[in-house]
Chains A and B, each alone.
Chain A
Amino acid sequence: MRHTISVLVENKFGVLARIAGLFSARGYNIASLAVSETLDPQISYMTIVVEAKDEKVLEQINKQLNKLIDVISVTDFTKKEHLDRELVLVKVGCLVDDKKELESLFDKFVGKIIQIKDDAAIIEAIGDQDQIKALLGALDKFGVKELVRTGKLAISN
């Protein structure tokens, strides 16, 4: 099962390698990872989506992360109220006839066409995991040529 955790870390040289190394050394899977500075430039915020087969594994991931010297805190969002969003960029086929239909999609979905060029459109969309999934489903028939995702960002509410 997938779990979302956030990790506050010291914004120091090598810290991402420590986190990534911990996951690979202990055989945990990262589904996505997003990192950036916080209001305090000495601290970075990571949102990590992990694949954990049970509670025990998740507990170990939490504890092992906490054990790293540069980790300030770990929040497991599994049982915590939070909001999450992901940004995706999708390149789909878009012939002249398709444009209207494509545009109409965004009555239902949060997103927009940011470029149309050479029979292809680039779409930007932001949403939670279900919304993104639904959008990608709807885009399927246009022929998805490329897909880039930021990975999930999560914040407690």
Chain B
Amino acid sequence: MIGARILLESLKKAGVEVIFGYPGGQVLPIFDQLYDFDLKLILVRHEQGAAHAADGFSRATGKVGVCLATSGPGATNLVTGIATAYMDSIPMVAITGQVGTHLIGNDAFQEADVTGITRPITKHNFLVKDVKDLARTVAEAFYIASSGRPGPVLIDIPLDVQRADTEFIWPDQINIRSYQPTYSGHPGQIKKAAKLISQAQKPIIYAGGGVITSGAHLELTELAEKIQAPVTTTFMGLGGFCGTHNLFLGMLGMHGTAYANHAVMEADLIIAIGARFDDRVTGRLDDFAPGAKIIHIDIDPSSISKNVSVDVPVVGDAKNIIQQLITEIKILPDTRNWLKKVNDWKNKHPLIYNDDTESIKPQYILQELFKLTQGQAIICSEVGQSQMWACQWYQYLTPRTWISSGGLGTMGFGLPAAMGAKVAFPKKEVFNIAGDGSIQMNIQELATCVANKINVKILIFNNGFLGMVRQWQELFYKKRYSYTPITSPDYVMLAQSYGALGMRVTKKEDVAVALEKAIKTDNTVLVDFRIEPEENVYPMVPSGQAINKMIEGLA
């Protein structure tokens, strides 16, 4: 069997149903095999779209997303997508063609050192120089991508390896001696954690994307209810705890809710689960949660005590550890006074915006969207203001309903990611919350959507600005709007020319109608909402400040 065929057989063995890709000179044998092979490829319009779509597919399903590109520029176009997946610990396998082994290093046509380029942005990568190693490499790649703290893995396959012939042997078991992730938490550490919880008076659970990765949302709910601790999640953790639960405080950090930030700062115990104390969460580190002891549950030992010092680290899988923790906690803390205080903050500092205007407020669109979808949609987003509003104003009820680039903050992520999610769940409503800046970064994927009937619904919050940067310029650079006003094409005509449905909404009273129409339309839909141009995202913690030093302004 030739290498190209071995690759496809291996992908099937690994459970792959769909790949996102783009052909090219150094992957011709693979595409030739795909021609009549039982594996679907979605042909994107730019390789970056393939990487984000594979990522979106993975975030929506928990499975390993797969993208495929040719050597050189095809591979380098994947780079932003791979880095995005890496920062958010998303399991993904990226396959790239490479020039023939005899040409490597010769500056051949469309040659790039792709394993070199992607080394710092992959969990691991491989250059397959011998066809005999190919099947095992694919098996290892899927194992590495999906186990431990997940992440993207790249396999670079030279042209001659794709053509070379060997027997196809799929390894039944993968054992990598140098890679043994820890899943079960240390019992002694769990005992210590349970003791701290029993003694706490003002505990708070700070949950991150690890809860979603490990499928620990039910356990998290059980734990929170058992110890009656309020729960805040990170951006990546949204959906890991029900957004309408009375113990839920919303997201914390730079654009978190005021009550989540106040609660974290006053807590005497922080139970961090699958989160990494990112700078957008902690604000000024020296001032972060001064009175709190910290329990940190994470599968990646290097996340522990990286940014903040931790009292009780527990390395392992969140689901396992929370289960063990629940049985271990014998004495429940009395948190009644604490919850009362937290609720006071909730009442005094709610998320708020000035709705008393003629213009369309982005927050209002999201509220209407939540009402119409009952929180059952998958919400993807681009990056910037629209993204932060989507964190604040749509309630995520279940895991994997919020799909957005957190760590890397990649503009242009939303549309292809929504495509990936919609391919995974054709019957679910999938929205992309976009700004007029971000949507123009991968707008070409409209063609992919229409051609493959991937009917995503794109809601552009069009304010004529690169809004988040403009907001910073307004607040910290004396309103000198340097290169942030931005023009757009006529989105209605643009959608039409791609074969999608385009709508423009300029009045508040038309918002709900437009959303309903978008949902009912059996096509890709792009809605151009003309929103209040200088609306800001609040609350906001200025960079480098303690997280309770928020600007809470009513815009």
Contacts and interface: CB of A to CB of B under 8 A. Distances in A.
A125 B115 CA distance: 40
A66 interface: yes
B178 A18 contact: no
A69 interface: yes
A17 B301 contact: no
Interface residues of B, number: 20
A18 to B, nearest CB: 6
Contact of A14 (B115, B176, B302, B309): B115
Interface string A124-140: 00000000000000000
Nearest to B122: A69
Nearest to B309: A56
Contact of B119 (A18, A60, A63, A64): A18
A59 interface: yes
Interface-centre pick from B127, B302, B305 (highest chain A CB count, 10 A): B302
A64 B303 CA distance: 9
Contact of A70 (B178, B302, B304): B178
Contact of A10 (B123, B178, B300, B304): B178
B105 interface: no
A14 B119 contact: yes
A95 interface: no
A60 B302 contact: yes
Given A13-B127, A17-B116, A21-B120, A66 B301 contact: yes
Interface string A9-27: 1100110011001100100
Contact of B302 (A13, A25, A67, A72): A67
B164 to A, nearest CB: 18
B276 to A, nearest CB: 13
A21 B119 contact: yes
Given A14-B119, A67-B300, A70-B178, A59 B305 contact: yes
A49 interface: no
Contacts of A66: 301-302
A90 B78 CA distance: 49
A71 interface: yes
Interface in B301-322: 301-302, 304-306, 309
B340 interface: no
A58 B144 CA distance: 26
B306 A60 contact: yes
B191 interface: no
Contact of A69 (B120, B176, B304): B176
A10 B176 CA distance: 10
A129 to B, nearest CB: 29
Interface string B164-206: 0000000000001111000000000000000000000000000
Contacts of A25: 120
Contact of A64 (B115, B127, B302, B309): B302
Interface in A32-76: 56, 59-60, 63-64, 66-67, 69-72
A44 B498 CA distance: 55
Nearest to A63: B302
Contacts of A13: 127, 129
B124 interface: yes
Given A56-B305, A60-B306, A63-B302, A69 B123 contact: yes
B313 to A, nearest CB: 11
Interface in B100-151: 115-116, 119-120, 123-124, 127, 129, 144
Contacts of A72: 177-178
Nearest to A25: B120
Contacts of A22: 120
Interface string B277-308: 00000000000000000000000111011100
B302 A69 contact: no
B275 to A, nearest CB: 17
B347 to A, nearest CB: 40
Given A14-B127, A17-B116, A21-B120, A71 B305 contact: no
A74 B144 CA distance: 20
A8 to B, nearest CB: 8
20 contacts: A13-B127, A14-B116, A14-B127, A17-B116, A18-B119, A21-B119, A21-B120, A22-B120, A25-B120, A56-B309, A63-B301, A63-B302, A66-B301, A67-B302, A69-B123, A69-B124, A69-B176, A69-B178, A70-B124, A71-B178
Given A60-B306, A67-B300, A69-B178, 4 more contacts: A9-B178, A21-B119, A69-B179, A72-B178
What are the 9 A-B residue pairs with the smallest beta carbon separation, nearest first?
Answer: A63-B302, A69-B124, A72-B178, A69-B179, A63-B301, A25-B120, A67-B302, A64-B302, A21-B119
Interface of A: 9-10, 13-14, 17-18, 21-22, 25, 56, 59-60, 63-64, 66-67, 69-72
